[in-house]
Amino acid sequence: MSGPKILGGVAAGIAAGTLLGFYVLAPNVEGGPAAVDSDVQEQLDSTRDELSASTAGLDADDAVLDEMAAGAVRDDLKDHSVLVVAMPDADQELVDAQRALLSDAGATDAGTLSLADDAVSQDKADAVKSLAANTLPAGAKLSEDRRDPGFHFGQVVGQALRSAGDRAKEASESDRSLVLGALDKSGFIDGGIPEVDSADAVVVVTGPTGGFAGTFTADLAAGLDDVTGGVVLAGDWASTTDGGALEILRADRADTEKVSTVDNADRTAGRITVVRALAQQLDGKAGSYGAAESAATPSL
**pLDDT tens digits for 182-191?**
999 999 999 9
Closest CA to 270 of 230, 240, 237: 237
pLDDT, one tens digit per residue, over 200-253 is 999 999 999 999 999 999 999 999 999 999 999 999 999 999 999 999 999 999
The CA distance from 90 to 293, in Å, is 22
**Has residue 59 got a pLDDT over 90?**
no
Give whole-number Cα distances, 110 to 12, 81, 152, 269, in Å: 35, 6, 21, 23
- Terminal CA-CA length for the chain: 9
* Neighbouring residues of 54: CB distance < 8 A, sequence distance ≥ 6: 8, 9, 11, 12, 15
| Rounded-to-integer distance, Cα 7 and Cα 237, Å | 13
Instruction: Give the CA count within 13 Å in the CB-facing half-sphere of 289.
Output: 28
Closest Cα to residue 141, out of 164, 163, 159?
159
Q: How confident is the model at residue 177 (pLDDT cuts 50, 70, 90)?
A: very high
- Is the pLDDT at 20 greater than 50? The verdict is no
Question: Residue 300: is its pLDDT beyond 80?
Answer: yes
Residue 234: strand, helix, or coil: strand
Residue pLDDT, tens place only, 44-53: 766 675 655 5
- Which pLDDT belongs to residue 57? 57
| Residue 249: per-residue pLDDT | 98
Whether the pLDDT of residue 175 is over 70: the answer is: yes
What is the pLDDT confidence band of residue 24, given thresholds at 50, 70 and 90? very low
CB 119 within 8 A of CB 190: no
- Per-residue confidence band for 165, with pLDDT thresholds at 50, 70 and 90: confident
Residues 273-299 have pLDDT tens digits of 999 999 999 999 999 999 999 999 999
Largest CA distance in the chain: 70
pLDDT in tens, 97-152: 999 999 999 999 999 999 999 999 999 999 999 999 999 998 899 999 999 999 99
